[in-house]
Homo-oligomer: A and B are copies of this chain.
């Protein structure tokens, strides 16, 4: 169950593209890789579309010829196994750009994107973008950094999921959620997003039951607690030790 109400606290409204971009640039969670100027260029190419909660933005196997800029809402991007199991790679939020990077090479999508909440998305088509990239060198340079950052994100996530077992994978996910989806209070760090055990399981390639047992055990150790059904971090150090986190990842990597 995703908590609609909390998600919407951050909603900037439908025509707030500029505001979103600026907030992201100046704010604490600066995950935006683009300069104001480049964003302006991108904005001029966007076609605004809304997606209903639960609808698919693109499918694995689609021919990809677009990029997507999240104006409002949340999007998850995942790969599916033949038996229906999913591995969630990303949760995107307002201000994020996503899409099949290889759209530039006209390949098919390697994953699926679904609107987790109602979303407003700015579509950027390859045929509009490509000429810009070939002429506007500062834009193309920023694009290169962006693509590189996305690749690094995947690599670091891979390490997190493979090195320290399922416990490590879950711990690193909780830490990633801190950036963009948390608020510090007196009694601990509260999450402003509410993911179910199943959602967490998909993020680490595991099962609902395993996630539940791990969380339960951490709760018994006093490292986490629940408040209105959502997780509160009581002992950050405890969680960090599980996945050997050394606080070395930049914020645009250490995120969902």
A236 within 8 A of B: no
Q: Does the CB pair A101–B162 fall under 8 Å?
A: no
Task: Return the chain B residue nearest A168 by Cβ.
Answer: B81
Chain multiplicity (copies): 2
A190 to B134, CA, bound (A): 44
Taking residues whose C-beta sits less than 8 angstroms from the other chain, chain A's interface range is: 35 or more
Which of B105, B141, B152 sits near A145, CB closer than 8 Å? B105
A52–chain B nearest beta-carbon distance, Å: 27
Q: Does the CB pair B147–A144 fall under 8 Å?
A: yes
A150 within 8 A of B: yes
Interface-side segment among A13-21, A118-126, A153-161, A222-230: A153-161
Report which residue of A110, A135, A144 has the largest number of chain B beta carbons within 10 angstroms of its beta carbon: A144
Q: Does the CB pair A133–B137 fall under 8 Å?
A: yes
Q: Which residues of A contact B (CB under 8 A)?
A: 79, 81-82, 85, 87, 89, 101-102, 104-105, 107-108, 110-111, 130, 133-135, 137-138, 140-141, 143-145, 147-152, 154-159, 161-164, 205, 244, 248, 250
